[in-house]
Structure 1
Amino acid sequence: MARRKLNKSIVDRLQAREREYVEWCGVLRGFGCRVRPSGVKSLIAQYRVGGRNSAVRKVTICKYGVPGCPSYEEARKEAEKVLARAKLGDDVAAQKAKDRAEMTVAQLCDDYVVNGSDHKKPSTNATDKGRIERHIKKLLGSKRIGEVTRADVEKFLRDVADGKTATDEKTGKFGRAIVKGGKGTATRTVRLLGGIFSYAVARGYIEKNPRIGVKVYADGKGERYLSAMELEQLGEVLREAETTGLPWQLNDSANSKHRPKQAEHQREIISEHAIAAIRLLLLTGCRAGEILNLKWSQVDFERGFLNLADSKTGAKTVLLGAPALQILAELPRIAGNPYVIVGERKGRPRSDLKRPWKRITSRAGLHDLRLHDLRHSYASVGAASGMGLGIIGKLLGHASPATTARYSHFADDPLRRASNSIAATIAAALAGPAEVPLAHERPADHG
């Protein structure tokens, strides 16, 4: 049986699998297409230098199908050259590794973004790129990767924490890029830097990761949650914000003609969609992005679920307690806009909650409270009620996608009762002394 030649048509049809694999050419030995679980394809050349017992070398010719990269025919010709040189004892992979050991940190970061981060979610990659451009390249970008030491990484950690990369730049006509630095940013950026150097080690660019042994600052994540009294304070301010409005925070340096002249105009009513978003974050334990990007088509009123196609942990189902369902049922839908939490742009969701959140937490005296702390508060209420960590984890979407996707049998099990109980407790605190519906009751109007 004739061996099959690897051609463009075959490469185009290759599908991703659970694990990485290589489809080899039966004619040009050592030439193949590597397919990663993410679906990214790379054309490679594999050979040995020095006989049968020598180490296997691999050279990535190019990524396949990526704009700006060589065509399939060009890549195959390049592979032929690499394999021909290998037969003459020329180790192309070793030479490339030597050349890359001389690359700068900035060049390594660019290489990592293109070739080493395809397993990450787009939102994570966007965050990584921001940290690379604003911190890593600014402080270490010009340094050769083979010269970076543990002491350099430790100094980088301190410099970011001390605000040496802090900036406040204008981006476009209205936007601003504010980079503050601090210990949390320093810790997360050093962890990213460590991952980038791990990639360099795996590729053979350097022998040792200089991030190893560097002690980072404690993130402090997950430590802040609302007490019962703070929940009441927040609930009171939310009611004030959507009814009578919050008092204006006048800027002494502002032009006097822009200030409201009458007392009754010196209050600001916060958007009902922004208020609903904050309440939903508290009552569901969702992440801010999950609520802001929520579409009405993802809300299952009949069974009481949010069916999220994408989240930090992939597709997941969020159980809704009765108070959360009531908020969704009473929230007005905007014609032509598929999103639950609408913004000012037609057909688009609200982009963030920074301004209303700052106004609300300032009024409530909760200056250190982050939006993500609402998720921690949801979990803490459940834990304080004696619910098992397994149940809390499932409600927060920490279980595997396969488990959370099977939501049909959750209707009357402990997860449903737990969701209702947490939401009812939080809703009662937000509502203050007023009577709230029983947790098992659902609104008759599904919106």
Structure 2
Amino acid sequence: MKLTEAAIARIAPGPSGEVVVRDSQLTGFAVRVRRKADGSLSHSFWVIYQERTHGKRRTIKVTIGQWKDPWTAAAARSEASRLLEARARGERVVNAKKARKASRTIRDLADGFGADHLPSVKPSTAKDYTHLLTNKILPVFSDHKVEEVTRGEIRDWHLSMRKTPYSANRSLAVLSKMFTYSMEREWRADNPATGVKKFPEKKREEWIDEHDLPAFKSALSQRTGPYSEAIRFLAVSGWRLSEALSLRWASVDLKRQIASLDDTKTGAQVRSLSSDAATIIDRQPSRSGYVFHLRSPHAPLCRKNLREELQEVCRSAGIEPITIHGLRHTAATWSAISGANTMELREAFGWRTSAMAERYVERAETLARKGAERAANAINLFDRETCEVREFQKN
């Protein structure tokens, strides 16, 4: 029987539930029809040939693939002919699935990961992943075969970024997700990124305290333009940089003093605006497009230029330079010192859980205790020779 579409459709397995039918024109080309547990039929194209090993003959079966998904009878016949010709030349015969699997590179993996995974995450997360793929992962691993990447190679790559531990750890996390994806697609049986030790990350605790705050405010008051306005807003609101730069007029309700944010680190939120934050928004020159923008309301501010503006403010104030995120720490710390509780902080700053808010409450309590001890030491009611903060332990 010549294996055509019509002929294959007529094949039915016998009592054993399985039958192998060989093609009458191409020796070695066959189809196996098997009845599955649910009663449906599975059709697999094979190449079958004899091979002598250590004086013994054995039958070799190489799977081409499933009928219709993706192989038609004609395409399977062509692939079988190619494999049989390769065997005749003495070459190693590998089925198409294994050949594709062995030839897949990290760039192929990145393309598949980007197409299947990135649409399911937030736009800001997808942007971060794309940046790390483009700048950290593909420049090193692009042409590496997926199956051949070793844990040692990944460890060496990660160690090469030791000067930027935060970026190194995020890059490692993305690469690990990619290999997990490759396991789901059966491109690889394991994840070589598993077990690579991440760098310790210092918690970013920088903030502008009571000593530096007056100088900072004075220096900021001397600055003009959209970048200084954005810094003022970040200082009084404690918003994340991405939230402030992406804020549009369509999302702002100044009468109710709220802003609707579609994409934050913890999802869509409605954020309350303080009177000062609302005032800063209200005095911006446009009422369409981005709230903080350059000449055109449809052109958002440049992150790099904003950071440089903040560094210039710090230099003018004569204080240690602070990052944009340090403004968020500053706002949260002063909010806690002023008496905000955990739930108020969580809602105001958009954290998913109360854990982060509790850090600032604890910091405020520590600062308050230190302040109380300073007052007691200054008065020195008991005429102690040395004045120092004492730690009291509960019995």
| TM-score interval, smaller chain | 0.5 to 0.7
Q: Residues 347-386 of structure 1 correspond to what in structure 2 (within 5 A)?
A: 347-352=298-303, 353-386=306-339
Cα–Cα, structure 1 residues 126 and 310, in superposed 2: closer, same or farther, change >3 Å? Answer: closer
Is residue 290 from structure 1 mapped to residue 251 from structure 2 by the alignment?
A: no
Deviation at 1:347, TM superposition (A): 4.1
SS for the counterpart of 1:307 is strand
- Equivalent residue for 1:184? 166
Deviation per residue, 1:80-109 (Å, 9 max, x gap):
343878xx9x9xxx9647633542222211
SS for the counterpart of 1:160 is coil
- Equivalent residue for 1:121? 122
Deviation per residue, 1:100-138 (Å, 9 max, x gap):
354222221122112222212233223222221222122
Q: Residues 131-170 of structure 1 correspond to what in structure 2 (within 5 A)?
A: 131-161=132-162
Q: Which amino acid aligns with 2:217?
A: G
Deviation per residue, 1:127-183 (Å, 9 max, x gap):
222221222122222222222222211111111335xxxxxxxxxxxxxxxxxxx22
Higher RCO, 1 vs 2 (CA within 8 Å, ≥6 residues apart): 1
Cα–Cα, structure 1 residues 218 and 296, in superposed 2: closer, same or farther, change >3 Å? Answer: same
CA distance in 2: counterparts of 1:379 and 1:95, whole angstroms:
58
- Equivalent residue for 1:341? 292
Deviation at 1:343, TM superposition (A): 0.6
- Equivalent residue for 1:105? 106
- Equivalent residue for 2:83? none
SS for the counterpart of 2:270 is strand
CA distance in 1: counterparts of 2:99 and 2:343, whole angstroms:
49
Deviation at 1:375, TM superposition (A): 1.5
Q: Which amino acid aligns with 2:292?
A: I
Q: Residues 155-234 of structure 1 correspond to what in structure 2 (within 5 A)?
A: 155-161=156-162, 182-234=164-216
CA distance in 1: counterparts of 2:103 and 2:209, whole angstroms:
54
Structure 2: which 5+ residue stretches go unaligned? Answer: 1-32, 43-65, 80-94, 354-360, 362-395
Moved more, 282-291 or 101-110: 101-110
Deviation per residue, 1:326-366 (Å, 9 max, x gap):
3233x14237x433212133643323313322322332345
Q: 1:327 aligns with which of 280, 289, 293?
A: 280
Deviation per residue, 1:188-218 (Å, 9 max, x gap):
1111111111111122211111111111113
SS for the counterpart of 1:229 is coil
Q: 2:231 aligns with which of 278, 285, 292?
A: 278
Q: Which amino acid aligns with 1:328?
A: I
SS for the counterpart of 1:333 is coil
Cα–Cα, structure 1 residues 379 and 107, in superposed 2: closer, same or farther, change >3 Å? Answer: same
Q: Residues 357-436 of structure 1 correspond to what in structure 2 (within 5 A)?
A: 357-399=310-352
Report the TM-score, using the length of structure 2 for normalisation: 0.61
CA contact (8 A) 1:97 1:204 kept: no
SS for the counterpart of 2:271 is strand
CA contact (8 A) 2:240 2:328 kept: yes
Corresponding residue pairs, total: 277
Quote the RMSD (CA, aligned, Å): 3.4
Deviation per residue, 1:294-335 (Å, 9 max, x gap):
223322222221122333333211111222223233x14237
CA distance in 2: counterparts of 1:100 and 1:377, whole angstroms:
52
Structure 1: which 5+ residue stretches go unaligned? Answer: 1-47, 58-77, 163-181, 242-269, 401-417, 419-447
Q: Which amino acid aligns with 2:325?
A: H
Q: Which amino acid aligns with 2:70?
A: V
CA contact (8 A) 1:234 1:364 kept: yes
Cα–Cα, structure 1 residues 384 and 198, in superposed 2: closer, same or farther, change >3 Å? Answer: farther
Deviation at 1:240, TM superposition (A): 2.3
Q: Residues 66-85 of structure 1 correspond to what in structure 2 (within 5 A)?
A: 80-82=68-70
Cα–Cα, structure 1 residues 116 and 297, in superposed 2: closer, same or farther, change >3 Å? Answer: closer
CA contact (8 A) 2:314 2:320 kept: yes
Q: Which amino acid aligns with 2:116?
A: N
Cα–Cα, structure 1 residues 346 and 303, in superposed 2: closer, same or farther, change >3 Å? Answer: closer
Q: 1:238 aligns with which of 197, 220, 226?
A: 220
CA contact (8 A) 2:258 2:272 kept: yes
SS for the counterpart of 2:70 is helix
Taking only the aligned residue pairs, the percentage that are identical comes to 24
Cα–Cα, structure 1 residues 362 and 106, in superposed 2: closer, same or farther, change >3 Å? Answer: farther
Cα–Cα, structure 1 residues 49 and 106, in superposed 2: closer, same or farther, change >3 Å? Answer: farther
Q: Which amino acid aligns with 1:225?
A: W
CA contact (8 A) 2:311 2:321 kept: no
CA distance in 2: counterparts of 1:322 and 1:79, whole angstroms:
68
User: Which of 1 and 2 has greater Rg?
Assistant: 2
SS for the counterpart of 2:280 is helix
